[in-house]
Amino acid sequence: QVHLVESGGGSVQAGGSLRLSCVASVDINRIACLGWFRQNPGKDREALATRYIYDDYTYYRGSVEGRFTFSQDNAKNTLYLQMDSLKAEDTAMYYCATADQKGDTWCRTSYDYTDWGQGTQVTVSS
């Protein structure tokens, strides 16, 4: 089991930026699926940015593409989510997640992920 710890959430005005971090307890270079998600109460968990280890690209949710950037530092076993031009509708609890194997959705949805962080709250005021 992978232990994940997110940080970097907070409150920001619309148009502002935040960078989320997620430190993993294992070598992320060997993990099949890496992803960032968000969720609001009573709603489904949304995939924001996901990667499959053998792909050369990051899959982004349409509503965040061009504003959010997924990166990783393998030496630090850390994932990042740079969030720019934030909007009120980006308000949510944000999670990082991993999986040892890709599932039916090729790491693109929450169904494939087995290990989750505790979440960090992002609040954007308009």
Give yes or no for a contact between 6 and 117, defined as CB atoms under 8 angstroms apart. Answer: yes
pLDDT, tens digit, 9 for 90 and up, residues 10-28: 999 999 999 999 999 999 9
Give yes or no for a contact between 68 and 59, defined as CB atoms under 8 angstroms apart. Answer: no
pLDDT of residue 55: 87
pLDDT, tens digit, 9 for 90 and up, residues 76-90: 999 999 999 999 999
pLDDT, tens digit, 9 for 90 and up, residues 25-60: 999 999 999 999 999 999 999 999 999 988 878 999
Pinpoint the alpha helices (H) of 13-125: none
Q: How far is CA 116 from CA 38, 60, 124, in A?
A: 11, 19, 23
Give yes or no for a contact between 94 and 36, defined as CB atoms under 8 angstroms apart. Answer: yes
Bridge partner list, 39? 93
